[in-house]
A and B are shown apart, each in its own frame.
Chain A
Amino acid sequence: MSLDLTEGSRPIPVVAAASGVAARRRRLLPAFVLLGPVVVFFLAVFIIPVGLMVRYSFLQQMPDGTLSDTFTLANYIRLGAVDLYRNVIITTLRISLFTTIGAMLLAYPLALVIARGPALIGRAITVLVIAPLLVNVVVRAYGWRIILGNGNSGVLNWALSSIGLGPVEILYTEWAVIIGSMQVFLPMMVLPLAAAIGRIDPAVEDAARTLGGSSLAVFRRVTLPLSVPGLGVGCTLVFSLTASSFILPALLGGSFTKMLGTLVEEQILTVFDWPFGAAIATAMVLIVMAINLAYMALIERRFRSRATEAA
């Protein structure tokens, strides 16, 4: 005789519950099997290295090349105490923000054409947006060095000088890093945005137009709010990738524009202070993660309030 478990006044037979669990397990088994390799892969190449990095950040490099045995906060205290590192963090965030805003402004028209324009033109724009991804970022950075070169050797300065507007000094400034980053990371903004716009029912925009909305009003009141999820993904990608980039600030910023990525590389490969490099890297990940989470929370809250208003 089996025992009966009760949930309120309803009796649940044990046999039925057990068979339900078994069925659920059977359903989940393929998912576990499929996810297994990915989980192991990420554990091996991401979680464990990141864990080691965080652990290193609490150690200290000893003069004989070994790491200290005891945990310390010295690296984080140094990070906060020396104004150089505070300035670099601010520079990194400023460049990432400007790059994200710039990419957003450039990406919207492109995404609209991809999602709403004639199919042939949409496909052509998609290819144009994706094509630069086939070229190594170092090659692209060197291309920008030729374009933005100071003096008359730069293509931009040569063009500006020929119409009496130049020369200007852009290479080895923050602007060079922002321009290069916008070009390199633009596809990361365009593609999710185009996908989000593509999911908006055209009938909604048509309805807005039928009600007398101008194109600008339709974009501002309908397309823009409904594409915010894609915008969120794009902004997160562009901001994070810019904040952690190393090649572009190294080649276009000319060491005047230090970012966190270049500092990490310098500490690891030049100074050989792995713990301090790990502390900078950990701080970089935490700051970028915090900003992205805050941004996503803001978007989610805005959506929830809109939904509440609509209800």
Chain B
Amino acid sequence: MTTTTPKILSASLSRRRLLKAGAATAAGLAAPSFFVRNAWAAGKTMQIGIWGGVQGEFIRKQVLPAFEKDFDCKVDAQQGSTLGQIALLRAGKEAPKFTVMFVDDLGVEIAKREGLIDPLPRDKMPNLAKVYPRFIYNDGYGVALAISSAGLFYNPQVTKPLESYAELWDPRFARKVSLVGTKTTPSVFTVIIAAAIASGKPYKEAQYLADQAWPKLKELKPNVLNLYSTDDAPLLVAQGQGAIGGPEYSKYVYPYKLKGASIDMCYPKEGAFAGVNCQILVKNAPNADLGAEFMNRMLDPAVQQGLAETALAAPAIGGLSFKPEIAGLLAYPESKMDELGLFSPDWAYVNSVRSSWIENLNQIFTA
């Protein structure tokens, strides 16, 4: 008598299937605690707001797939700018759809003041302990993920790096300064720089002396080629349209430098500005626990290292090391941040007067 294995059984017991099943079982046995620990998140969908550009691309390609796999969840990431993200939070204040939002440091102040966010859940974010204390904002409502330093970009074939911002007013730069437009945050730095030059005071005091900035900026007008509003402004200077520009974040300049463009950055003696990309937890957010896990993941040393190397912006946590060619472009570690004098404005004050600052800038520079 011959026995024949039924077709269905033979298929189900094929060697490949057995190997697969064995591997899965072995993995399950090897890490039972992992599956059990994250089972609560299985099947959940979370909506977050992230940045665009290289940082957004890194998060989409490197961070999200691994996070979704580890928690068996789905993360829906929407790209946007700080004020755009704040607008989304305002629109959804009554019934929030987003769980985590990425905004610049100025956005943390606005979101907290308007009751759009909750404090960071420290007990669920152990990586917060690795963050430099200076990068935890507004009493623990926001934490930095990446820190750019803002200074001037210049074409080394046309000019030397500036010692002082006061040199921008020099006639040799007539129609050669590409000034940042009013739409982005660094336009705030323009006002503070002008106030510092006019008053002789450091940024910390000059930020409250904007009245002294306006006549000084009027004097700058003959040197201004344009007020740019696109990220390619450093490239235009590299191509010979103007000699110098900014103030701008290093993350928008150094990628061009690394690709060989004739562009570099300088940080005049008055000091550099900090451009801080942060994350915040939306108030009454759906899946807040999953959001806390994600925010914790963003502060993981491996993620921080990758984000910093991709965006050429300093990480917010200590203890990382970089290759020399990258390290030279980052305001890192903390001691180097102090050397550069990275300054963060009093956003509570600046946000309250920003509308009138923009109006004044427009009055001065609009033909």
Contact = CB atoms under 8 A, between A and B. Distances in A.
A64 B113 CA distance: 7
Contact of B358 (A171, A174, A271): A271
Interface residues of A, number: 34
B247 interface: no
A161 interface: no
Interface in A142-164: 149-153
Nearest to B228: A254
19 contacts: A82-B359, A83-B363, A88-B366, A91-B367, A150-B225, A171-B226, A254-B227, A255-B182, A255-B228, A255-B229, A255-B365, A256-B365, A266-B183, A266-B362, A269-B83, A269-B183, A270-B182, A271-B354, A273-B355
Interface string B68-94: 000000000000010110110010000
Nearest to A61: B355
Contacts of B358: 266, 270-271
A151 B240 contact: yes
Contacts of B228: 254-255
B114 interface: yes
Contact of B226 (A87, A255, A269): A255
A271 B225 contact: no
Interface in B229-268: 229-230, 236, 239-241
Interface string B172-192: 000100000111100000000
Contacts of B239: 149, 151, 153
Nearest to B111: A65
A269 B84 contact: yes
Nearest to A82: B359
A257 interface: yes
B226 to A, nearest CB: 3
B354 A172 contact: no
Contact of A84 (B84, B90, B116, B363): B363
Q: Which 8 A-B pairs have the closest CB atoms?
A: A254-B226, A255-B227, A65-B114, A172-B226, A258-B366, A255-B181, A84-B363, A151-B240
A272 interface: yes
Contacts of B236: 149
Given A255-B227, A255-B365, A271-B354, 9 more contacts: A63-B113, A65-B110, A82-B359, A91-B366, A153-B241, A263-B362, A266-B183, A271-B358, A272-B83
Contact of A256 (B84, B116, B355, B366): B366
B352 interface: yes
B366 A152 contact: no
Contacts of A65: 90, 110, 113-114, 116
Most B Cβ at <10 Å: residue of A87, A265, A271: A271
Interface of A: 63-65, 82-84, 87-88, 91, 149-153, 169, 171-174, 250-251, 254-258, 263, 265-266, 269-273
Contacts of A272: 83, 86-87
A127 B155 CA distance: 43
Contacts of B365: 255-256
> Chain B, interface size: which category?
35 or more
B171 interface: no
Contacts of B241: 149-151, 153, 171
A51 B183 CA distance: 27
A171 B182 CA distance: 19
Nearest to A84: B363
Nearest to B87: A272
Chain B CB count within 10 A is highest, among A65, A84, A173, for A65
Contacts of B81: 269
A84 B225 contact: no
B115 interface: yes
B352 A63 contact: yes
Contacts of A91: 366-367
Contacts of B362: 84, 258, 263, 266
Nearest to B93: A65
Nearest to B364: A84
A91 B365 CA distance: 14
Contacts of B175: 169
Contacts of A269: 81, 83-84, 87, 183
